[in-house]
Structure 1
Amino acid sequence: MDGQDAETGRLIRQVRKRAGKTLAVVARDCDCTVSFLSKLETGHTQASLNMLHRIAHALGVNIRTLVPTQAGGASRIVRAGTRRFLAAPHIRGGDGIRLEMLSGQGGEDVFQVNLHHVAPGGRSDGQIVHDGDEFIFVLAGEIDLELGPETHRLGAGDAAFFPSREPHGYSNPGSGEAVVLWLNSPPTY
């Protein structure tokens, strides 16, 4: 594991202790084992984005609280060559997804914008549910957007808007990379 794993684990432990919750309570609330959560807190394992959402929900915080950020304040300008990518370990290896952060990470932001780069066969780790609303616009390729029990095939130029409380996930059924502009309000991480 790398330093980012250890920092994520340290942040989870810090927030959990500040909330006065035991490993057992958080593990139960996010449907994982105490062993997994302990290994995560010590940087000996990785969590999927879905699991980070569940842990954040169990701790009553936004996922961005649990993810290490770059030093410095929020910026109104995010240059092409300096954008941060969120990939493994925060999105479990093998999922084929990288998130390119287009918006700043200021604590007062009312929305967050990312480019989701989804490799052929790449997929989210199941469906997630959280507070807020989402808007997506497919820039390239195609994705299967899962909204509850329904699956919608979206291609370049297609868009979707849905409440984040609706279970949602996605995958790339195509043979090329899919690129999706994704807006969350409020910021998810």
Structure 2
Amino acid sequence: MEFDTGARLKEERERRRLSQRQLAAATGVTGGMISLIEQNRTSPSIATLKKILVGLDITLSDFFATPEESGPKWCFRKHELREITPFAKRGETEGGVNFRQIGRPGASAIQMLYETYTPGADTGPDLYSHDAEEAGIVLSGRISVTVGSETQVLEAGDGYLFNSRTPHRFQNPGPDDCVVVSACTPPTF
């Protein structure tokens, strides 16, 4: 089943009885951009979607959540990882970034992600921040990580740990795909 980012955004906005103009004023994202996203005519960067979701008071993982079975679960197979990629549509990883979450959103005090970045892919031109701490280990490839004003290129086996309130960005300088396993607490992303 394909995830419809535009329809989900419109549903959340209307649930809060906000017009596109009101949401734009609350988030700093233009009404035109919100309209294009809701019509699936453009795919938002992570930073843009985060701004919109903050205005809607919903986390990224909750935004991409789907109804699931209730009850505790501790083991998750590869096919059970939940895709929470903001710009994915029609089964593609538009922008070359793919985030897959382990477990149900909100079911744990930690959020674990399996991240894949194709060469040249990044989390968007703007640095973004969220109210948490995050850490990760590069499994393969290389990733350029900017935290505040500092940028480092990390390779397989390298890791990072920082306060996510500091604006940050991830970009794959290539030439190969990059795979990162990361954790965020509390789950705000």
Q: Normalising by the residue count of structure 1, what TM-score does the alignment of the two structures yield?
A: 0.83
2:77 pairs, out of 60, 76, 79, with 79
Letter in 2 for 1:84: R
- Provide Cα deviations, 1:138-178, integer angstroms capped at 9, x if missing partner: 11111110001110111111111111111011111131111
**Cα RMSD for the two superposed structures:** 2.6
- Quote the Cα distance in structure 2 between the aligned partners of 1:19 and 1:69: 19
Matches within 5 A, 1:105-144: 105-125=104-124, 126-144=126-144
Give the conservation status (yes or no) of the 8 Å contact 1:9–1:40: yes
Matches within 5 A, 1:94-109: 94-101=94-101, 103-109=102-108
Aligned residue number for residue 145 of structure 1:
145
Aligned residue number for residue 22 of structure 2:
25
Aligned residue number for residue 178 of structure 1:
178
Letter in 1 for 2:37: L
Q: Which runs of 5+ in 1 are unaligned?
A: none
Aligned residue number for residue 158 of structure 2:
158
Give the conservation status (yes or no) of the 8 Å contact 2:97–2:121: yes
**Deviation of the 1:49 alpha carbon:** 2.3
Matches within 5 A, 1:31-110: 31-69=28-66, 71-73=68-70, 75-87=73-85, 89-90=87-88, 94-101=94-101, 103-110=102-109
- Secondary structure of 1:55 counterpart: helix
Q: Normalising by the residue count of structure 2, what TM-score does the alignment of the two structures yield?
A: 0.83
Letter in 1 for 2:12: V
Q: Does 1:12 align with 2:9?
A: yes
Number of positions where the alignment pairs a residue of Structure 1 with one of Structure 2? 185
Letter in 1 for 2:80: T
- Provide Cα deviations, 1:109-156, integer angstroms capped at 9, x if missing partner: 211111111111111113111111101111111111000111011111
Give the conservation status (yes or no) of the 8 Å contact 1:94–1:122: no
- Quote the Cα distance in structure 1 between the aligned partners of 2:130 and 2:31: 23
Letter in 1 for 2:75: I
